Amino acid sequence: MSNKLEDEHSSSSSSSAGSYSDWISNVRRRPFQPGRLDQEEIWWAERQQALEAAGYILRPRYCQGWKESWVEVTSKKGFDWWECEECQPMRRVMDATRISDGKTVILKKLLEGEGPYELQINKLFSSDSLVSNPRNHCAPLLDVIELPNDPPIMVHSHLRPFYNPRFNTYGEFVAFFEQICEGVQFMHQHNVAHRDCTSENIMLDPSRMYPQSFHPVKISRAKNYHGRAKKYTRTRYPPRYFLIDFGLSRLYDPKNGPPRDYALRGGDKSAPEHRDRTKLCNPFPTDVYYLGNLVREDYIQKYDGLDFLKPLINDMVQEDPTKRPTMDEVVSRFAEIKGKLSTWKLRSRMPRKNEIWPVTAWRSVGHWYRTVGYVLARKAALPVP
């Protein structure tokens, strides 16, 4: 695989520095039009050769000599530019192919203000002593690329938002919540507060659910952008869930007692203790709030049948941070809740509250047809990887 990738991109790596510089200069001078590289993308294009030398190949869009192929197609066939695979942009993070094995990875440029903390936390949970712990749900750091006069670039596996595709059963949702609570608990036990464990920073490993992968920008499409990505359910191939984005995370010294820090507002800005950002607060109960509020707003309020979670979630989102359970208590209480759920409940379909009855009837037939197959194949009602 690596020889093939190197051969396919030999022309870009063998180009003279002058021609490459000319191409970048030309890209910068051109007026912006839909589909063309914007300033954030140009940053990556400027480093395409250096990244290739480090072992990572960017998509053709960011390589020397790239031109908008849809210009002529649009005029001749009425084709829209945004339907072209090559015009799909990435910015702060960038997808790439690792030359050594052809694996799709994600490159993340560290921001100046967050970089030192993010790299510190990533290295901590990717250390030899922690990375193999099954309770560690921090996305592993695969590599760090150091380029002259540039911020470090972290390399992670290509993951997928935890909520896509939707949860089909209560068992799938219970397995997700159990893993993420365990992951945040593991961070807290190592004196790290995530401080932004919200929906956009929780991912799943798609390697088994999407064996042929998917497009890094339009994740519903196949990797080659032709047709929809082939997928399996979480029940058939249980995924592992991961926490990402540690730019706001902090490591605290337990010798100093309970930490007191200024609020750093991430994706969820509703935490009561963040209303007055001039006051110091303990960030660990805020992590508990974030997880509880995610379940409350995105699932309990939108899906039927999650009443068994309400007592725990209500405690996790208490107005007074001191009244919230710790993550150790959350994990312990959730284990008790999980133990009381029947196999029938875990295998049951998780319908939305606003679902109309014809849709419910249609989806229920398909759901139970699949469930019979899972039972015969001895797939667990609680899909744990």
Residue owning tokens 């990402």: 244
Q: How would you classify residue 340: left for phi > 0, otherwise alpha for psi between -120 and 50, otherwise beta?
A: alpha
Q: Are 214 and 160 in contact (CB under 8 A)?
A: yes
State residue 141's pLDDT score: 98
Q: Give yes or no for residue 147 having a pLDDT over 50.
A: yes
Residue 125's identity, in one-letter code, is F
Question: How far apart are the C-alpha atoms of 144 and 107, rounded to whole Å?
Answer: 9
| pLDDT tens digits for range 210-243 | 999 999 999 999 998 889 999 999 999 999 999 9
Grade residue 8 by pLDDT with cuts at 50, 70 and 90: very low
Q: What's the number of CA atoms in the CB half-sphere (13 Å) around residue 215?
A: 20
Alpha helices in the chain (DSSP H): 2-8, 10-14, 17-29, 39-46, 48-53, 70-77, 115-125, 170-189, 283-295, 310-316, 327-339, 343-347, 357-376
Give the residue with greater pLDDT, 144 vs 75.
144
| Mean pLDDT on 102-122 | 89
Q: Are 158 and 152 in contact (CB under 8 A)?
A: no
H or E element at residue 204: strand 202-204
Share of residues in the chain with pLDDT > 90 (%): 73
| Mean pLDDT on 293-310 | 98
Report residue 156 CA to chain centroid gap.
Answer: 10
Question: How far apart are the C-alpha atoms of 292 and 260, rounded to whole Å?
Answer: 21
Question: How far apart are the C-alpha atoms of 124 and 129, rounded to whole Å?
Answer: 9
Q: Give yes or no for residue 6 having a pLDDT over 50.
A: no
Give the residue with greater pLDDT, 265 vs 185.
185
Grade residue 171 by pLDDT with cuts at 50, 70 and 90: very high
State residue 10's pLDDT score: 46
State residue 55's pLDDT score: 97
State residue 87's pLDDT score: 67
Q: What is the DSSP letter of 190?
A: T
Q: Give yes or no for residue 33 having a pLDDT over 70.
A: no
Q: What is the DSSP letter of 201?
A: G
Lowest mean pLDDT among 41-45, 160-164, 302-306: 41-45
State residue 182's pLDDT score: 98
Residues 6+ apart with CB under 8 A from 332: none
State residue 11's pLDDT score: 44
Lowest mean pLDDT among 254-258, 285-289, 335-339: 254-258
Question: How far apart are the C-alpha atoms of 64 and 62, rounded to whole Å?
Answer: 7
How would you classify the pairing of strands 192-193 and 250-251? Answer: antiparallel
Question: How far apart are the C-alpha atoms of 331 and 348, rounded to whole Å?
Answer: 23
Question: How far apart are the C-alpha atoms of 313 and 293, rounded to whole Å?
Answer: 8
Average pLDDT score, the chain: 89
Q: Which two tokens stand for residue 149?
A: 């006069």
| pLDDT tens digits for range 74-106 | 555 545 555 676 667 777 799 999 999 999 999
Sign of CA dihedral 158, 143, 126, 121: negative
Q: Give yes or no for residue 69 having a pLDDT over 80.
A: no
Residues 6+ apart with CB under 8 A from 174: 338, 341, 346, 382
Residue 99's identity, in one-letter code, is I
Grade residue 265 by pLDDT with cuts at 50, 70 and 90: confident
Q: Are 206 and 160 in contact (CB under 8 A)?
A: yes
List, as one string, the DSSP characters of 237-289: SPPPEEE---SS-EE--GGG-S--EE----S----GGGSSTTSEE-HHHHHHH
State residue 15's pLDDT score: 44
